[in-house]
């Protein structure tokens, strides 16, 4: 592949992460019904068409605790459709904390991983963890991140070894986190490791998320996400095969439950009429087979619940990257994470031209759009 094509694909991947994250951020935690209701009012369509001013989940902390938006939106203080019942978000909070076209903790973590890889020309587990913690420290006042991530990052900054931060007492659950945060941040690694075979790819992934995600399901999902970006980067929309991709991903699973989940997605892709499929109708039974605390179709916190959502949507909409991201938001739940991960894969497949209008409206400060695009180009100068 010509270097200029590869660079375009890498930029497309990074734009997919940022665009998906910033588009989905205003709707995180909301149901599909509420998202469609808002989209119909705003754009006369059930699918989200652009950025919405909102307070990102986990950003605003009041006397009563963290405000878990979304959240007072652009049309004014009288529009409370997206506020939880009984929650009144003061207008001055929207003025101070409202964001539009800005990324959340998802992209923040991706940029940290990408920057560490560029600095070290390899995965250095301690360096990656430190960079992630520093990015969150410097951006926490408005990016938002869950309390568990805050505690782990604080431990890292205090000098706790990377081998310990993702386990008790720094992470409260034995076995480490099964959540989607490891996979959420891993896509940039695939740009540098685009030619790596399965074993070295998994080793690199394990090291990149060692400080935060140790559970086998989290490592599985992060490895699958990296492999999917690899596949997209080295194919075109004409040579992309959903069946081939899913076969490759199944071979990477070490968790029995993750393997069963990926087999279920493969069956759906093979036998369901994709044009008429209802995403909730397909994904609901698949996610329901494996219960995880605090997670499900309503909010896909667990890796085993986010993975089928991402790969189903990619396989269904890979020819239309914009629709893929819109469909990710339409699922509801963890919308910024789903859309950013789907965006990474379809962006790597289509290059940097498919979202020019959305990309133009992305934030572009010190660690904004242009910074991310430079990192993408530097990552594909590596071949690890």
46 annotated to bind ligand: no
Contact 54, 71 (CB under 8 A): yes
Backbone angles phi, psi at 65, to 5 degrees: 120, -170
* CB neighbourhood size of 288 (10 A): 11
104 annotated to bind ligand: yes
Contact 361, 51 (CB under 8 A): yes
The alpha helices in 121-241, defined as continuous H runs, are: 125-143, 147-157, 162-165, 181-184, 187-192, 198-208, 216-233
Contact 300, 294 (CB under 8 A): no
d(CA 70, CA 72): 6
337 annotated to bind ligand: yes
What 3-state DSSP class applies to 251?
Answer: coil
352 annotated to bind ligand: no
45 annotated to bind ligand: no
d(CA 347, CA 302): 24
What 3-state DSSP class applies to 142?
Answer: helix
212 annotated to bind ligand: no
Contact 322, 329 (CB under 8 A): no
Give the pair of three-digit tokens for residue 140.
């926490």
End-to-end CA gap in the chain: 16
Q: Please state the residue numbers annotated as binding site.
A: 104-106, 334, 336-337
Q: Please state the residue numbers annotated as binding site for Mg(2+).
A: 104-106, 334, 336-337
């Amino acid at each position: 592949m010509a270097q200029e094509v590869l660079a375009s694909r890498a930029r497309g991947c990074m734009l997919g992460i940022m665009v998906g994250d910033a588009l989905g951020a205003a709707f995180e935690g909301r149901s599909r019904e509420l998202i469609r209701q808002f989209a119909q009012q705003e754009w006369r369509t059930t699918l989200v068409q652009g950025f919405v001013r909102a307070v990102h989940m986990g950003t605003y902390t009041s006397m009563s605790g963290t405000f878990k938006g979304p959240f007072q939106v652009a049309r004014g203080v009288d529009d409370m459709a997206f506020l939880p019942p009984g929650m009144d978000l003061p207008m001055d909070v929207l003025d101070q904390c409202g964001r539009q076209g800005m990324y959340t903790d998802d992209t923040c973590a991706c940029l940290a991983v990408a920057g560490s890889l560029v600095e070290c020309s390899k995965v250095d587990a301690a360096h990656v963890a430190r960079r992630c913690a520093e990015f969150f420290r410097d951006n926490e006042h408005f990016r938002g991140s869950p309390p568990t991530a805050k505690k782990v990052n604080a431990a890292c900054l205090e000098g706790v070894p990377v081998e310990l931060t993702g386990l008790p007492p720094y992470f409260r659950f034995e076995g480490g986190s099964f959540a989607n945060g490891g996979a959420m941040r891993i896509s940039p690694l695939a740009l540098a490791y685009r030619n790596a075979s399965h074993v070295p790819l998994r080793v690199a992934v394990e090291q990149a998320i060692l400080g935060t995600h140790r559970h086998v399901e989290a490592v599985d999902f992060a490895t699958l996400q990296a492999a999917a970006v690899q596949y997209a980067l080295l194919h075109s929309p004409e040579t992309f095969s959903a069946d081939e991709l899913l076969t490759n991903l199944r071979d990477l699973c070490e968790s029995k439950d993750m393997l069963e989940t990926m087999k279920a997605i493969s069956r759906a892709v093979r036998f369901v009429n994709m044009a008429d499929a209802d995403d909730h109708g397909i994904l609901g039974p698949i996610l329901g087979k494996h219960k995880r605390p605090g997670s499900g179709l309503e909010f896909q916190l667990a890796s085993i619940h986010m993975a089928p959502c991402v790969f189903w949507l990619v396989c269904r909409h890979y020819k239309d990257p914009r629709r893929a991201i819109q469909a990710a938001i339409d699922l509801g739940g963890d919308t910024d994470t789903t859309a950013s991960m789907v965006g990474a894969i379809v962006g790597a497949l289509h290059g940097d031209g498919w979202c020019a209008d959305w990309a133009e409206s992305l934030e572009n400060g010190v660690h904004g759009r242009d910074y991310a695009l430079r990192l993408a180009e530097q990552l594909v100068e590596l071949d690890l």
